[in-house]
Amino acid sequence: MISFLNDYSEGAHPAIMQALQDTNLVSTIGYGLDEYCALAADRIREAVQSDHAQVHFLVGGTQANRVLISSALRPHEAVITALTGHVVDHETGAIEASGHKVLTIPASQGKLTPELAERIRAAHNSEHMVKPRMVYVSNSTEIGTFYSLQELEELSAYCRSHHMYFFLDGARLGSALTAPGNDVTLPDLARLTDAFYIGGTKNGALFGEALVLVNPALQQDFRHHIKQNGAMLAKGRLLGIQFAELFRDQLYFRIAAHANAMAALLKQAITEAGYSFMIDSNTNQLFPILPNEVLEQLRSRYLFSHWEKTSDTHSVIRLVTSWATAEEDVQAFAEELLAISGAAVSK
Amino acid sequence: MISFLNDYSEGAHPAIMQALQDTNLVSTIGYGLDEYCALAADRIREAVQSDHAQVHFLVGGTQANRVLISSALRPHEAVITALTGHVVDHETGAIEASGHKVLTIPASQGKLTPELAERIRAAHNSEHMVKPRMVYVSNSTEIGTFYSLQELEELSAYCRSHHMYFFLDGARLGSALTAPGNDVTLPDLARLTDAFYIGGTKNGALFGEALVLVNPALQQDFRHHIKQNGAMLAKGRLLGIQFAELFRDQLYFRIAAHANAMAALLKQAITEAGYSFMIDSNTNQLFPILPNEVLEQLRSRYLFSHWEKTSDTHSVIRLVTSWATAEEDVQAFAEELLAISGAAVSK
Amino acid sequence: MISFLNDYSEGAHPAIMQALQDTNLVSTIGYGLDEYCALAADRIREAVQSDHAQVHFLVGGTQANRVLISSALRPHEAVITALTGHVVDHETGAIEASGHKVLTIPASQGKLTPELAERIRAAHNSEHMVKPRMVYVSNSTEIGTFYSLQELEELSAYCRSHHMYFFLDGARLGSALTAPGNDVTLPDLARLTDAFYIGGTKNGALFGEALVLVNPALQQDFRHHIKQNGAMLAKGRLLGIQFAELFRDQLYFRIAAHANAMAALLKQAITEAGYSFMIDSNTNQLFPILPNEVLEQLRSRYLFSHWEKTSDTHSVIRLVTSWATAEEDVQAFAEELLAISGAAVSK
Amino acid sequence: MISFLNDYSEGAHPAIMQALQDTNLVSTIGYGLDEYCALAADRIREAVQSDHAQVHFLVGGTQANRVLISSALRPHEAVITALTGHVVDHETGAIEASGHKVLTIPASQGKLTPELAERIRAAHNSEHMVKPRMVYVSNSTEIGTFYSLQELEELSAYCRSHHMYFFLDGARLGSALTAPGNDVTLPDLARLTDAFYIGGTKNGALFGEALVLVNPALQQDFRHHIKQNGAMLAKGRLLGIQFAELFRDQLYFRIAAHANAMAALLKQAITEAGYSFMIDSNTNQLFPILPNEVLEQLRSRYLFSHWEKTSDTHSVIRLVTSWATAEEDVQAFAEELLAISGAAVSK
């Protein structure tokens, strides 16, 4: 079976495994205070062009979201997000479990705008309601789109003018930053957000997210919050070693670009076969609308997620590519889809 | 520098690294639902001789303690522990952050007894106070001692007679179970506790704790709690692969036995050099009392933790051994200590 | 100024003030363990025809909602409510602050149905999502409507078939139970819900809500939860004295019926003046749609809440009546409205 | 039966009942935004001589402690208190339920000192531990003692030098400020603390605590926190009316002085009868050590709390006086004690 289920189906990119192997017997201090974490943080500060940013390494995305949000907000403060935001329905209420309401609004293409955020903020104008204090966006989004520089500039300006934090979830940041049409850079994120994270789990690492705290107000005692949330890895070096490798020789971007390229091939094949998409995506997640009978045949050799029904005869599926996606597997899928579709059409 | 700082200073035991390498390109489902986790859970169920136990794999000890305790207790319920318990002062208030009071009592040798637990329980007899509902112990303890089978039998019987859960933190369980004088087995733990975990981080894994839920009352919806706490690893397989290896061919016990053997050599050397200990330990943590001038000399070549001052001239240090401790390094330490001590004595 | 702002603008019904005065110097035990609380609980158990129900007296509605919901749910469990539910946007995130997500869905007339609840429940089918475990409804609702017996029967059956608690917020229960067209009784509520509360604050008491716990699963250690939430009144007797009086000689129902009667007069006058309503209500809250110029004139002598704009020229306002609403004030309002409207029309 | 059980056994001081009666039919806005609350706050600001202090009225002491502490601290921050502090064991873990650890140390006479606080603070020096950020004291203390001005000055200076908040629980503040030997004033408290509250429940009110927020850092959005904790009274005016009365014509101090005077008579009688005290107190709580046979006889006519056994033959009891304690009842107790004791001695 060939899997397009997600971008965390295998272990790590071979270069990362090699780095872990090479350092395995070196003795270091624990809890992320080692030289590898220091090196990785330095490389990331250089990549984001922010000398004063703190870089903390966390194991996963839900953890990163929960630690950051709960450390930033006072008990009565809330976070604004698009209805499709990962924190809404895919983290088992982790943010609410830390005491904070998540305020949602439907957003076209999964992307929040100042207008949408303001609709929520303006409605929360009393002490009988929570106080919106943070805007949360994901880039790339949960449905494969990404923000333009101008969109992020506007959100950043909006947040600053309303004394709200701007936090960007970068679980799939690599894919966004290397997508055709993207005009955003890491230094842009450091300039425009208060905090963001650079996802490793979905971009070649065994695990790990590099949380960049740009705003000094979010930096104080942050390691206390990591520890309190059970998120401080004893062998913190593992995160440092991986991110030092990801940010050496552009590995992070090369991995993401490969995943995007594989997705582009899939997109091209699906388009050629005459099918459309729930939403247009240039990143490593595709959401084609396919006839159920085609899906049935594909399922015998390929793994992918059912997303939603669009009619009695058609469904949206999700295809995800990664560093581990082989071009030959993509081509096999493309050929099979064309063959099935031709057969389907000719029936 | 040779490090006796702790048992998580290096990467993983080579056999574990090899297992991770061997499986790296295999594609699996995420979040711990893969075949490796299933295999590891089966091996652990066999090792603990409990068909109905659930086995969940978590990344670290604070995480394991927090997820288990917060999922088991209602808001007004509290956990009883010896004052030296890891949850008291070494997890940045993680248990309190989940809403629960941690009730403490000083305990000789870091070991709780039914009498001590009952002193706390009996004092909490009103709705104006929290309700003790769980007893927490660590084995081996935070100061290197371990529980006898009879001690655990008594604690278990006490908990059951008072409708309290009995939870055992096994961050260093391997060292306890392989220590000279130990008479406790994994099946004993499955029989006597409601939940316990088998620590991997401090016994050769890159990271990972295998939480064994014996009591069905603690099993329901447990994966929801893991996810909510940000503790569900996307590539959950990493935990399965490691524990499957640890529980193949007794690797878990061989690693622990090695660490204990190295500690025994250190203990012998320290005793021969004429020094005593804060507490007698047969596990991989030693707490010798040494003259400050001896310590000063040792520090030029060895890393270890200062524990506490006992007088103006002497201090307790902590020495920890692990799978990575080389016998030649232990012998070098032994010889140097004898040499220094002889010199110190003859001065 | 004559106030139709709300039903808690004055002190208490004179009979309640008298009861407090009469008992003022009697010495009792604290924290609600006194004879007045016992008497009031007995009267309520009799009124709801449930011998085994626990009755707890709390100071206010947000408090009652928070204590009940947070004591009933495990950390990963959530509550389902209509989007207009009081717990959603009018309690400053009190439920989320206790760790639980509030799941909402727009509901016609502010009333939840099994179909709506099921839409939410069915969508939460994974450990990556919270688990819906309780259905919350208000009766009368936040927009003045009330549930029929059949509607409550259906919701109750739905909850039981899906292992969910059914909790009814009765902040304005008196008004619902005495409204023209109502066919629900207190014994119905005790039979159909797991817990509900009988609101005193908005029905003649100085303050106080009587929380009736019908389901034994919700009863255990409930006073611990009250205390932990800072909701246990030292002079708990004050609640007992008031509810004993409210449930003597049907005072509770007489007060509510008066408020409803006053609202009916207002409704009649508004209808006669030719205006319509945002929603049809037979309870003590009315939501007429009036021309802005009429509202402007009314504001010189009457207090009421602006609810929302319906157009550039019209707005919805909220009018609320209570035990303290005098018939002469209602008549004055009616006459003035007719006069203004005639003038408005003739312009 | 004559009760020395506590200072909240009756309703309210008659002047307060009168004020509530007099204002009962006045219509006001809800939630504490009314003119009575404004008046009471003004009177309190004048009494504490702090123009910029915020004054918030809460229903009870546990509520006041929980709202203040949880609004002031970030998640990893903790509060330091004497082991006898009310927040430790008498509020069902309310502080921990809001996520914060309570750090305790035994303190002579129930009074914290900078030395004791520093012992805790200095021990919490790592990100693996909570961060002490607030010092909590009660005045009068839970065992009847009170702080001198110099003691408070020292604690205040200590807190300020270590960037910690200083919070004073004044549930029985009236008794402390009017006790023989006291040299502290309300303006001193406003000068030395960051926040304190003036207890009404135990000093003549039906209920209510006036929380004075001196430090602007604690003031922002405080009403959000009140509401979120279910602590915002709909008829907030009830608190305003009572505190406006308590701070008119020194009623607050006259009530407290009466309670102290009654306690002083009891103390004199007990001393004359030849008995000693667990601790010397000049406030409205006494802790005499009496023979069990004497206690047995007293119990037929008097109510009081058993505090603890001191030997097989003697016990400590607690006697509490209040505004409602009648001098004739005190004298009756005194005479009976002397009579019993004489009999006991002569046996």
Q: Say yes or no to pLDDT of A225 above 80.
A: yes
What single DSSP character describes residue D214? -
Q: Is B163 on the interface with C (CB under 8 A)?
A: no
- pLDDT, position D47: 98
Q: Residue A347 above 60 pLDDT? A: no
Cβ atoms B231, B63 nearer than 8 A: yes
* Cβ-contact B269, B286 below 8 angstroms: no
Residues of chain D positioned with their CB less than 8 A from the CB of C6: 30
Q: Tell me, what's the pLDDT at D231?
A: 97
Q: What share of chain D is helix, strand, coil (3-state, %, to 5)?
A: 45, 20, 40
Chains in contact with B, where contact requires at least 3 CB pairs less than 8 Å apart:
A, C, D
> Per DSSP, what are the bridge partners of residue A277?
A288
Mutate to test the interface with B, among D101, D121, D305, D306 (most CBs of B within 10 A): D101
- B chain contacts of residue C227, beta-carbon cutoff 8 Å: 127-128
D230 vs A: CB within 8 A = no
From CA D231, how far away is CA C15, in angstroms rounded? 26
Identify residue A271 by its one-letter amino acid code: T
Residues of A in contact with C91 (CB under 8 A): 128
* Whether the complex's predicted ipTM surpasses the cut of 0.90: yes
Å from A280 to nearest chain C CA? 25
Size of interface B-C (CB pairs under 8 A): 45
For residue B44, give the nearest of B343, B244, B318 by alpha carbon: B244
3 state SS of C101: coil
Q: Are D40 and D33 in contact (CB under 8 A)?
A: no
DSSP C241: H
How far is A154 from A166, CA to CA, in rounded Å? Answer: 11
Mean pLDDT across chain D = 97
CA-based end-to-end distance of chain B: 27
pLDDT at D240 over 60: yes
On whether any CB of chain D is under 8 Å from the CB of C229, the answer is: yes
> CB–CB of A132/A114 below 8 Å?
no
The string of DSSP letters for C158-193 reads HHHHTT-EEEEE-TTHHHHHTSTT----HHHHHHH-
CB-based contact C9 D27, cutoff 8 Å? yes
- B347 in C contact zone (CB under 8 Å): no
- Chains in touch with C (3+ beta-carbon pairs under 8 Å) read A, B, D
Task: Find chain B residues with C-beta within 8 A of C223's C-beta.
Answer: 127
Cβ of residue A124 closer than 8 Å to a chain D Cβ = no
Query: What is the DSSP code string of D30-98?
Result: STT-SHHHHHHHHHHHHHHT-TT-EEEEES-HHHHHHHHHHHHS-TTEEEEEETT-HHHHSSTTHHHHT
Residue A77, helix vs strand vs coil: strand
Q: Do C96 and A101 touch (CB under 8 A)?
A: yes
Are B24 and A14 in contact (CB < 8 Å)? Answer: yes
Count of CA atoms in the C-beta half-sphere (13 A) of A215: 20
The whole-angstrom separation of Cα B54 and Cα B52 is 6
Asked whether the beta carbons of residue D76 and residue A225 sit closer than 8 angstroms, the reply is: yes
Task: Answer yes or no: do B97 and D99 touch at CB < 8 A.
Answer: yes
The number of residues in chain A equals 347
**D202 Cβ contact partners less than 8 Å away, ≥ 6 residues apart:** C234, D6, D7, D8, D171, D172, D174, D175, D322
Q: Answer yes or no: are the C-beta atoms of C175 and C198 closer than 8 Å.
A: no
Chain C residues 236-255 with CB within 8 Å of chain B = none
C323, C203 contact by CB (below 8 A): yes
**For residues A73-89, average pLDDT:** 98
Query: How many angstroms away from the CA of A102 is the closest CA of chain C?
Result: 9
Q: Which residues of D touch C235 (CB under 8 A)?
A: 8, 11, 201, 206-207
Query: Which of B90, B96, B128 has the CB atom closest to D128's CB atom?
Result: B90
Q: What is the pLDDT of residues D241-263, one digit of tens each?
A: 999 999 999 999 999 999 999 99
- Domains contained in chain A, CATH given: 2-6+253-346 (3.90.1150.10), 14-251 (3.40.640.10)
Q: Tell me: the pLDDT tens digits for D37-96?
A: 999 999 999 999 999 999 999 999 999 999 999 999 999 999 999 999 999 999 999 999
pLDDT in tens, D321-344: 999 999 999 999 999 999 998 765
So what's the pLDDT on residue B341?
A: 84
- Quote the pLDDT of residue A335: 95
From B75, B78, B92, residue closest to D127, measured CB to CB: B92
CA atoms of A212 and A337, how far apart (whole Å): 42
Tokens 């983290």 locate to A91
Name the residue with tokens 């919106």.
A132
Query: Among A98, A127, A130, whose Cβ lies nearest the Cβ of D223?
Result: A127
The verdict on a CB contact (< 8 Å) between D228 and A74 is no
User: What pLDDT is recorded for position B228?
Assistant: 98
Nearest by CB to B75, from C71, C76, C223: name it. Answer: C71
Would you say C78 and C130 are in contact if contact means Cβ atoms under 8 Å apart? yes
D150 to chain C, minimum CA–CA distance in Å?
32
Is C10–D3 a contact, with Cβ atoms under 8 angstroms apart? no
D91 CA to chain B: closest CA distance, Å? 5
Establish how many alpha carbons lie within 13 A of residue C56's alpha carbon, considering only the half-sphere containing its beta carbon: 28
| Look-up of token digits 């065994």 | A206
Say which of A71, A76, A98 has its CB closest to residue D225. A76
User: How far, in Å, CA of C231 to CA of C63, rounded?
Assistant: 7
A224 shares contact with chain D (CB less than 8 Å): yes
Contact D62 C230 (CB under 8 A): yes
| End-to-end Cα, chain A, rounded Å | 27
Residue D347 has pLDDT above 90, yes or no: no
- State the pLDDT confidence band at A345, using cuts at 50, 70 and 90: low
Decide: B333 and B269 in contact? Cβ < 8 Å: yes
Find, in chain C, the residue whose alpha carbon is nearest to that of A97. C99
CB C69 within 8 A of CB C87: yes
Pair A115, A135: CB distance under 8 Å:
no
- C56 near D CB under 8 A: no
Q: Which residues contact B271 (CB under 8 A, 6 or more apart)?
A: none
Q: Is B29 on the interface with A (CB under 8 A)?
A: yes
Nearest CA in chain C to B125: C224
The candidate with the shortest Cα–Cα distance to C314, out of C278, C270, C264, C338, is C278
Binary contact (B25, A11; C-beta < 8 A):
yes
Query: Quick check: B24 and A17 CB within 8 A?
Result: yes
A131-156 average pLDDT score:
98
Q: Is A73 on the interface with C (CB under 8 A)?
A: no
D221 touches chain A (CB under 8 A): yes
Asked if residue D244 lies in contact with residue D36, where contact means CB atoms within 8 angstroms, the answer is yes
Separation in Å, CA of D147 to nearest CA in chain B:
26
Picking from C1, C30, C94, the nearest residue to D230 by CB comes out as: C94
Q: What gap in Å lies between CA A220 and CA C125, rounded to an integer? A: 38
- C221–B76: do the CB atoms touch at under 8 Å? yes
Question: Taking CB atoms and an 8 Å cutoff, what residues of chain B touch D96?
Answer: 96, 99-101, 130
Q: Residue type at B273?
A: A
Give the whole-angstrom CA distance, residue D314 versus residue D292. 5
Chosen from A77, A92, A100 to mutate, greatest number of chain C CBs within 10 A: A92
How far apart are the C-alpha atoms of A114 and A109, rounded to whole Å?
15
Residue D83 sits at the chain B interface (C-beta within 8 Å): no
- Residue from A298, A336, A262, A237 nearest A23 by CA: A237
The packing angle between helices C251-272 and C327-346, to 10°, is 10
CB-CB contact of B129 with D90 (8 Å): yes
Which residues of chain B fall short of a pLDDT of 70?
343-347
Q: What residues of chain C score a pLDDT lower than 70?
A: 343-347
By residue count, chain B amounts to: 347
Give the A:C interface size as CB pairs under 8 Å: 58
Per-residue model confidence (pLDDT) at position A343 = 66
Subunits touching A (CB < 8 Å, at least 3 pairs)?
Answer: B, C, D
Residue C74 contacts A, CB cutoff 8 Å? no
- Judged by CB atoms closer than 8 Å, whether chains meet at B11 and A30 is answered as no
Average predicted confidence (pLDDT) for chain A: 97
- Taking residues D313-320, report their average pLDDT: 97
**pLDDT computed for residue A63 by the predictor:** 97
